[in-house]
Amino acid sequence: MRELFDPETIVVIGASGKEGKVGNLIFRYLSESKAEVYPVNPNEAEISGKKCYRSVKDIDADMDLAVICTPAKVCVENVRECAEKGVRFAIPIAGGFGEVGEEGKKLEGAMRRCAGEMRILGPNTLGVLVPGVIDTMFLERERSPRPKKGRIALISQSGATAATIMNGANLYSIGFSAFVGLGNRVDLNENDFIEYFSDREDTDAIALYLESFADGMKFREIVEKCEKPIIMLKAGRSTAGAKAAASHTGALAGSDRIVSALCDQYSITRVYDEEELIDTSRALAYSEPMRGGRIAVLTTAGGHGVIATDYITSEERGVGLSLSQLTPRTREELKKLALPFASLANPVDLTASATDEMYLKALKALMEDDNTDGVLVSVLFDPPGMTERLIDGIISMKGGKPMVIYTVGAEMSVNAIRRFEEAGIPAYPSIWRGVRALYALYRRGVNE
Amino acid sequence: MNEFEAKRLLQEHGIEVPNGRLIRNRDEARGLGYPAVLKVCSEKILHKSDVGGVHFVRNEGELTKALDDLLSRFPNEQFLLEEMIEEKGIETIVGVGWDRDFGRFIMAGIGGVMAELYGDVAFRLLPIDRTNAIALVDSLRGKRLFHGFRGMRVDSEAFYDLLLKVAQIAEENDIRDMDLNPVLLTEKRAIVLDAKIVEGRK
């Protein structure tokens, strides 16, 4: 896969000098990579000062990757030429294939047949993105800013969905190790990429968006071997039309329940929306799993402690875990902070009189508490004694037991999340999202 | 395969089923003892109770009457006469199905005629081991029933054994659909009271 994710030579078929054209955008963005990029377009002599070729076959160099920007009908012929040229990977980006009906399916069949040993990603795809290395996405960066480099690989059957997710992730400086848009999967599919990312050093979690499985039996085989956390958003859950129920088993099954069983059985974290997909991927990528379900909560707002307790301990609208019973030693440590109104049982509420120093001492005590498996830390800047210096102090405690931050507020909170993100500590903008992340760490620990 | 054949297959693999035999007329009906259950036994009839195809009988007179009734309505069918199981326990459901993506799966949960109403069942893809069987039961809302609820003890180990045997039978015999409902789980054993099996993949 090196030639796909880090090519040395790229040919852009259908490259264009005209602004606004897909072939222009792709050629421009690819030209920023360290790869040698060759434009192909029979109607142009030169693009951005580079010699333009009539056909890929006219280029006197080996090609790692072809990005094909031509429309569906021409595209198949371009794929054939690339295969004959010996190109290693091709990304036909055009739509108008299997997704539009029978005619398109025939084109896909023709494409598959002429590919030979060349591997195809797509068609109908945004291709691949490795921040700082390669970007085949045809979306303008002004409207669709790319994420920075991170530890999460995103594999998506829908390119547009992934683009919006990565765009939104920029708000909190969330990075990705790579993105792959699967498109119509005439050749390469999710199984190939899960296998690839499970060996890739720069990836600590694999986030999947799927609407269907290309090869379910192979999927089982691959996820069973994968040691990295896999987080899956499987859409298309509702079953259209009731099945004729010949048996109770048939009536009760439905393919979505089988997907849930699969996730339980193979330790895949199943999520139900795009926010949870990234929230959970960050938790599992950045933190060790929890070794039990006992959580300590540290806050400066009493109500936050109560809300968090409900989420942590409730089976309904909660995660059904427990609050840790702090050890006598931890309680002694907390007592030394000597705040008159503070609640020193779990949840630990240092009240609005808290200062950075007290807060960090309390956090240290909780991180060292023998009865606690994970800590939920609220970072609220409303109390006058709490400043942004707190962030560095918390970051310095990374590496102990699992710790999840949540913060509620405006700019200071958004900035805090960015800082924690850069330090590789999972941080979220609500109590619930913090608790949910801890639960994902707990489940991962149970399954290991 | 019909219910009688399905139960023989289960029995051959060490799964408990009620004593019973196939009959076609009054002469064959003697000698099993009472109380007993008489059911129409046909691959074509999927929901026997819905068509009045099940009778509970306490003596020879009731049996004769029940048989005459079934013979008049299902003249070309056979009938399964079985001992009635009266032990206390919980009604569970165990099934096997085929998913087009992930292949054969097993299902288990709270059974009986209300099975579909409660929908408290869980699934695992085959093959499974004992850990999977235990995890499956533990993912049910009604899992406490399997671990002794309000003084009602059941043999949960027998239930795990049954799941493993069902999984094995399904794989070895290429079974597409299996529906064991109810499976009565008592303090001492798991016994399959009704069984439907369809062979082959979809």
ipTM of the complex: 0.89
Which chain B residues have a beta carbon less than 8 Å from that of A251? 116
CATH code, domain carrying B110: 3.30.470.20
Matching CATH number, A290-447, of 3.40.50.150, 3.40.50.261, 3.40.50.300, 1.10.10.10: 3.40.50.261
**Amino acid (1-letter code) at residue A374:** G
DSSP-assigned beta bridge partners for residue A91: A67
Same domain as B179, residue B106: yes
Contact A262, B125 (CB under 8 A): yes
Residue in the structure block whose two tokens are 């399964």: B80
The third-level CATH classification (topology) of the domain covering A1-124 is Rossmann fold (3.40.50)
DSSP-assigned beta bridge partners for residue A427: A405
Name the domain boundary from B63, B83, B103. Answer: B83
Per-residue tokens: A156: 């998506």
Q: Which domain, by its residues, includes B155?
A: 89-199
Per CATH, A1-124 and A138-286 having the same topology is answered yes
Angle between helices A216-225 and A190-199 in degrees, nearest 10: 10
B160 alpha carbon, distance to own chain's centre: 15
Same domain as B117, residue B96: yes
Nearest to B140 by CA among B162, B181, B109, B182: B109
Q: Which residues are CB-neighbours of A21 under 8 A, at least 6 positions away?
A: none
How far apart, in whole angstroms, are the C-alpha atoms of residue A435 and residue A171?
Answer: 21
Distances (CA, A) of A118 to A67, A80, A155, B6: 13, 10, 21, 51
Residue B44's pLDDT is what? 84
Contact B180, B5 (CB under 8 A): no
**Within a domain: B63:** yes
The ranges assigned to domains in chain A are: 1-124, 138-286, 290-447
Same domain as B175, residue B195: yes
**Closest CA of chain B from A216, distance in Å:** 5
Same domain as B111, residue B38: no
Nearest to A153 by CA among A289, A320, A1: A1
Residue A244's pLDDT is what? 39
Query: Of A213, A246, A264, which is closest to B46 when you measure between CB atoms?
Result: A246
Per-residue tokens: A264: 């339980």
Is the Cβ of B179 closer than 8 Å to some Cβ of chain A? Answer: yes
**Within a domain: B39:** yes
Q: How many CB atoms lie within 10 A of CB B35?
A: 14
Which chain B residues have a beta carbon less than 8 Å from that of A252? 95, 107, 109, 115-116, 119, 121
Query: Of B102, B107, B196, which is closest to A262 when you measure between CB atoms?
Result: B102
Residue of A nearest to B197 (CA): A247
**Within a domain: B1:** no
Same domain as B178, residue B131: yes
CATH code, domain carrying B74: 3.30.1490.20
Is the Cβ of B180 closer than 8 Å to some Cβ of chain A? Answer: no
**Within a domain: B50:** yes
Best mutation target among A247, A255, A257, A443 (most B Cβ atoms within 10 Å) is A247
Same domain as B119, residue B36: no
φ/ψ region of A120 (left if φ > 0, alpha if ψ in -120 to 50, else beta) reads: beta
Same domain as B78, residue B25: yes
Name the domain boundary from B27, B54, B83. Answer: B83
Q: Inter-chain contact A247–B177, Cβ cutoff 8 Å?
A: yes
In this structure, what DSSP letter does residue A425 have?
-
Query: Of B105, B125, B196, which is closest to A247 when you measure between CB atoms?
Result: B196
Query: Of A212, A248, A261, which is closest to B125 when you measure between CB atoms?
Result: A261
Which chain A residues have a beta carbon less than 8 Å from that of B111? 248
**Within a domain: B9:** no
Residue of B nearest to A446 (CA): B135
The third-level CATH classification (topology) of the domain covering A138-286 is Rossmann fold (3.40.50)
Q: Inter-chain contact A249–B107, Cβ cutoff 8 Å?
A: yes
Which chain A residues have a beta carbon less than 8 Å from that of B178? 249
**Closest CA of chain A from B112, distance in Å:** 10
Q: Inter-chain contact A257–B135, Cβ cutoff 8 Å?
A: no
**Within a domain: B5:** no
Residue of B nearest to A212 (CA): B101
Name the domain boundary from B58, B83, B108. Answer: B83
Same domain as B94, residue B76: no
Is the Cβ of B156 closer than 8 Å to some Cβ of chain A? Answer: no
Task: Give, for all 448 residues of chain A, the pLDDT tens digit.
Answer: 999 999 999 999 999 999 989 999 999 999 999 999 999 999 999 999 999 999 999 999 999 999 999 999 899 999 999 999 999 999 999 999 988 889 999 999 999 999 999 999 999 999 999 999 999 999 999 999 999 999 999 999 999 999 999 999 999 999 999 999 999 999 999 999 999 999 999 999 999 999 999 999 999 999 999 999 999 999 887 664 334 334 555 556 668 899 999 999 999 999 999 999 999 999 999 999 999 999 999 999 999 999 999 999 999 999 999 999 999 999 999 999 867 777 889 999 999 999 999 999 999 999 999 999 999 999 999 999 999 999 999 999 999 999 999 999 999 999 999 999 999 999 999 999 999 999 999 999 998 7
How far apart, in whole angstroms, are the C-alpha atoms of residue B7 and residue A440?
Answer: 43
Contact A309, A351 (CB under 8 A): no
Q: Inter-chain contact B99–A265, Cβ cutoff 8 Å?
A: no
Q: Inter-chain contact B116–A248, Cβ cutoff 8 Å?
A: yes
Best mutation target among B121, B123, B163 (most A Cβ atoms within 10 Å) is B123
Which chain A residues have a beta carbon less than 8 Å from that of B45? none
* Position B185 pLDDT exceeds 90: yes
Contact A412, A389 (CB under 8 A): no
Contact A229, A284 (CB under 8 A): yes
Contact B177, B145 (CB under 8 A): no
User: In a 10 Å sphere around its CB, with 0-12 CB exposed, 13-18 middle and 19+ buried, how is residue A369 labelled?
Assistant: buried
In angstroms, the first-to-last Cα distance of chain A is 29
Distances (CA, A) of B75 to A153, B25, B31: 65, 10, 23
Which chain B residues have a beta carbon less than 8 Å from that of A246? 46, 177, 198
Distances (CA, A) of B155 to A240, B145, B158, B188: 39, 11, 5, 6
Same domain as B113, residue B66: no
Q: Inter-chain contact B101–A252, Cβ cutoff 8 Å?
A: no
Same domain as B99, residue B179: yes
Which chain A residues have a beta carbon less than 8 Å from that of B100? 216, 255
Q: Inter-chain contact A249–B99, Cβ cutoff 8 Å?
A: no
pTM: 0.93
Count structural domains, chain B.
Answer: 2
How far apart, in whole angstroms, are the C-alpha atoms of residue B20 and residue B8?
Answer: 10
Distances (CA, A) of A335 to A104, A298, A343, A394, B110: 71, 14, 10, 20, 50
Q: Which residues are CB-neighbours of A131 under 8 A, at least 6 positions away?
A: A146, A147, A148, A149, A150, A175, A176
DSSP-assigned beta bridge partners for residue A130: A134
Same domain as B143, residue B72: no
Query: Of B93, B95, B99, which is closest to A258 when you measure between CB atoms?
Result: B99
Which chain A residues have a beta carbon less than 8 Å from that of B121? 252
Distances (CA, A) of A250 to A215, A220, A441, B119, B200: 22, 22, 34, 12, 15
How many pairs of residues across A and B have Cβ atoms under 8 Å apart? 81
Nearest to B115 by CA among B129, B95, B133, B99: B95
Interface of A with B in 209-268 (CB under 8 A): 212-213, 216-217, 219-220, 246-253, 255, 257-258, 260-262, 264-265
Same domain as B95, residue B146: yes
Best mutation target among A224, A234, A249, A260 (most B Cβ atoms within 10 Å) is A249
B95-134 pLDDT tens trace: 999 998 999 999 999 998 888 888 899 999 999 999 999 9
Is the Cβ of B114 closer than 8 Å to some Cβ of chain A? Answer: no
Residue A343's pLDDT is what? 82
